[in-house]
Amino acid sequence: MFGWLYLRHSTRTLEKQSEALRLGFFWLLATVVIDLFGWVLLPHPWQMTLDQFYVGYQPWISLTYLVIFISPILAAQSGRVGGALRVRIRLMLSRVGR
């Protein structure tokens, strides 16, 4: 959702794809750093070791990181598909109106 909102103002498809990759890398890096500090380094009752968090929670932690990375890329591509769909709908409506 936020990826689509951010990327909807990009003009060219190639520009949108490169921006989506950069956004995905940024979100992935931010999530890994926040998880590292929030779950491993800061002391609290639910604190985990690196092994517990990054090995014990496989495959879920990797799938979560994959979804975070790929979501802006999918949002950029869905905007392209949605734009093509809008053009088709307009063409169909213009033909019906004649």
Is the backbone of residue 43 left (phi > 0), alpha (psi -120 to 50) or beta? beta
Task: Quote the CA–CA distance of 51 and 41 in Å, as a whole number.
Answer: 13
Summarised one tens digit per residue, pLDDT across range 54-66 is 999 999 999 999 9
pTM score, whole prediction: 0.70
| pLDDT mean over 66-91 | 72
Give the structural domain span for 79: 15-97
- As for how many domains the chain has, the answer is 1
Report if residue 63 sits inside a domain: yes
* Summary mean pLDDT of the chain: 81
Answer yes or no: are the C-beta atoms of 80 and 19 closer than 8 Å: no
Report if residue 28 sits inside a domain: yes
Report if residue 9 sits inside a domain: no
Task: Quote the CA–CA distance of 14 and 20 in Å, as a whole number.
Answer: 10
